[in-house]
Chain A
Amino acid sequence: MDSFLIITSLLKIVGILFVVILPMVSYAVYAERKVSAAIQDRLGPNRVGPAGLFQPIADMLKLLLKEDFTPRTANTFYYWLAPCLAVMPAIITIAVVPFGSTLLGVPMVIADVNIGILFVFAIASLGVYGIVLAGWASNSKYPFLGGIRSSSQMISYELSLGLAVIPVFLLVGSLRLTSVVQYQIEHGWFIAPFVGDWLNPWKWLLAVPMIISFVVFVIAIFAETNRLPFDLPEAEQELAGGYHTEYSSMKFALFFLGEYAAMITGSAIIATLFFGGWHFPGIPDGSHGWIFGLINIAVFFAKVAALIFVFMWVRWTLPRFRYDQLMRLGWLFFFEIALVNIFIVAAILAYLPNK
């Protein structure tokens, strides 16, 4: 390990975490309130600073000053551990996502591991531990129900999540996320695949399973990040806040931020797998000058922001699923659709002439 690699890696970690992700998380809360307000014909926060822009800071200050209460009957160790476990996986996952091409010759990905997507799934599914531990350690009825719901929901949707992306990797031939982006630069984004090759009707056949794959993956990500219409673990109306009912102060804030961090990570992964990552047609990569490197990073985060908007848009449109509907949807539809989809893609690839 030479010192150059260590220094650039540290710079990337600090830069991406403290300059981009954490402000994005806190402003996602603000954006959520503004978007929901606009959808419901309201104004949203507009008192703290111009257009309420300092609202996240005020919220943080408020939460810091709140009493940090631990219930007497709670299991203290796990009770304290759970909020950390809720935030950590979402932030670690961002390490393998390529958020830009290169900047001054340095690749803009913190850890370009060759098991990229496996790492993402392995770490992202740890997020359920935060919720289950919170529900169990609180030693209270509603959080417990929330924790149980969360674990079964995550298990059900993890399957279709994993199966839905297999077609992508059948095509790319590598689990490395930078190769996925590189493949999409050469062959077109996976939501509109093979744009460069549109004269070849065989390649168009692949577009259909890719769209199915995309839809299943996005829905599974919704369930994975506990967003409405799949927010059964917290279900404010039925479970009084679910797993974080007993939490207060910064511990509650960590759960809150964890949810939004998971949303950002989910959006980043959708953007990388299906929207071509940092690639935008007509914009060259970072080897043509540092300005293009910066533009590539901006393009990536613009895609992430657009996807976060979709998350919010869906949240404020759809009602929550009933629990049995959720399970039925996961096990009887998405699981099968994703499974069949893999076979379709494999069959097309096997009989595809002149690939």
Chain B
Amino acid sequence: MAITVPRPKLNWRERMYLPAIVAGLAITIKHFKNMLLGRTKVTMQYPEEKWDSSLPDHYRGAPALVRDEDGRVRCVACQLCEFICPPRAIKIIPDEIPSTDRFAKVEKYPEEFDIDMIRCIFCGMCEEVCPEQAIFLRKDYAITGFTRADMIHDKEKLLEIGGVIHGVILKWNEKK
């Protein structure tokens, strides 16, 4: 059944359009004026201003390896992160620590540790699963490269992002 949509009856003032046009012009000039006076909040100028200072504590950025206070890579190459990683972005080649080494008791260390940042989905499962608190998600979010090879973070790159962490971090108590 056809329905007739009732049109509102306009009075002569509304039918003249001019008051509405003037009201519209007043609104736009108000925005223009506020912009000129610097009262308007505008968007962040990205490459010059960055998010870094306003990122929340629990932000999940690029995963990274950390060293402890002795300068040892905390990772013991248990490969749990490699197995848990949903997109299989992590590749670890473990090696044995020689018995003459100061940390011979640790037994294993990662000879190679690559994270393919094209695959990584920033889920943070590697961080959750790590028994040694060796891998963390940092606040780096602008990960770029010109080639696919650029986008694979090797051990040096991961340690560079990660830096040094002292002592035990109660990662279950608070957000990192």
Whether the pair B35, A38 counts as a contact (CB closer than 8 A) is yes
Contacts of A80-116 to chain B: CB distance below 8 A: none
Q: B142 an interface residue at 8 Å Cβ cutoff?
A: no
B27 — which chain A residues lie within 8 A by C-beta?
A: 317
Q: B1 an interface residue at 8 Å Cβ cutoff?
A: no
Q: B24 an interface residue at 8 Å Cβ cutoff?
A: yes
**Among the listed B29, B35, B36, B40, which residue makes an inter-chain contact with A313, where contact means beta carbons less than 8 Å apart?**
B29
Write the A27-47 contact mask toward B (1 if CB under 8 angstroms, else 0). Answer: 000000001011111110010
B34 — which chain A residues lie within 8 A by C-beta?
A: 41
Whether the pair A38, B31 counts as a contact (CB closer than 8 A) is yes
Q: A314 an interface residue at 8 Å Cβ cutoff?
A: yes
**Among the listed A39, A314, A318, which residue makes an inter-chain contact with B32, where contact means beta carbons less than 8 Å apart?**
A39
Whether the pair A38, B43 counts as a contact (CB closer than 8 A) is no
Q: B21 an interface residue at 8 Å Cβ cutoff?
A: yes
**Among the listed A43, A316, A317, which residue makes an inter-chain contact with B43, where contact means beta carbons less than 8 Å apart?**
A43
A310 to chain B, nearest CB (A): 9
Whether the pair A318, B43 counts as a contact (CB closer than 8 A) is no
B36 — which chain A residues lie within 8 A by C-beta?
A: 38
Q: With the chains together, A174 CA to B21 CA distance in Å?
A: 35
Q: With the chains together, A38 CA to B42 CA distance in Å?
A: 10
Chain B, interface size category, equals: 10 to 19
Q: B25 an interface residue at 8 Å Cβ cutoff?
A: yes
Q: B28 an interface residue at 8 Å Cβ cutoff?
A: yes
Whether the pair A317, B32 counts as a contact (CB closer than 8 A) is no
For the complex, would chain A's binding face be called helix, strand, loop or mixed by DSSP majority? loop
B21 — which chain A residues lie within 8 A by C-beta?
A: 317-318
Whether the pair B25, A41 counts as a contact (CB closer than 8 A) is no
Q: Which residue of B lies closest to A310 (CB)?
A: B25
Whether the pair A39, B31 counts as a contact (CB closer than 8 A) is yes
A35 — which chain B residues lie within 8 A by C-beta?
A: 32
Whether the pair B28, A41 counts as a contact (CB closer than 8 A) is no
**Among the listed B24, B29, B42, B45, which residue makes an inter-chain contact with A41, where contact means beta carbons less than 8 Å apart?**
B42
Write the B16-59 contact mask toward A (1 if CB under 8 angstroms, else 0). Answer: 00000100110111011011100010110100000000000000
A61 to chain B, nearest CB (A): 22
Whether the pair B42, A43 counts as a contact (CB closer than 8 A) is yes
Q: With the chains together, A42 CA to B32 CA distance in Å?
A: 10
A25 to chain B, nearest CB (A): 22
- Among B25, B32, B34, B42, the one with the most A-chain Cβ atoms within 10 Å of its Cβ is B32
Whether the pair A39, B43 counts as a contact (CB closer than 8 A) is no
Q: With the chains together, A41 CA to B31 CA distance in Å?
A: 7
Whether the pair A313, B25 counts as a contact (CB closer than 8 A) is yes
Q: With the chains together, A46 CA to B21 CA distance in Å?
A: 31
Q: With the chains together, A195 CA to B42 CA distance in Å?
A: 44
Q: Which residue of A lies closest to B24 (CB)?
A: A317
Q: With the chains together, A138 CA to B16 CA distance in Å?
A: 39
**Among the listed B24, B28, B29, B42, which residue makes an inter-chain contact with A42, where contact means beta carbons less than 8 Å apart?**
B42
Whether the pair B25, A314 counts as a contact (CB closer than 8 A) is yes
Q: Which residue of B lies closest to A43 (CB)?
A: B42
B137 to chain A, nearest CB (A): 33
Whether the pair A39, B28 counts as a contact (CB closer than 8 A) is yes
B32 — which chain A residues lie within 8 A by C-beta?
A: 35, 38-39, 313
A314 — which chain B residues lie within 8 A by C-beta?
A: 25
A313 — which chain B residues lie within 8 A by C-beta?
A: 25, 28-29, 32
A39 — which chain B residues lie within 8 A by C-beta?
A: 28, 31-32, 35
Given A38-B35, A41-B35, A316:B42 Cβ within 8 A: no
Q: With the chains together, A287 CA to B93 CA distance in Å?
A: 91
Given A317-B24, A318-B21, A42:B43 Cβ within 8 A: yes
B39 to chain A, nearest CB (A): 10
Q: Which residue of B lies closest to A37 (CB)?
A: B35
Contacts beyond the supplied A38-B31, A41-B35, A317-B24: 12 A-B pairs with Cβ under 8 Å: A35-B32, A38-B35, A39-B31, A39-B35, A41-B40, A41-B42, A43-B42, A46-B45, A313-B25, A313-B28, A317-B25, A317-B27
Residues on B lying within 8 angstroms of A by beta carbon are 21, 24-25, 27-29, 31-32, 34-36, 40, 42-43, 45
Q: List the 8 shortest-distance A-B pairs measured between CB atoms, nearest first.
A: A38-B35, A317-B28, A317-B24, A39-B28, A38-B32, A41-B40, A39-B32, A317-B25
Residues on A lying within 8 angstroms of B by beta carbon are 35, 37-43, 46, 313-314, 316-318
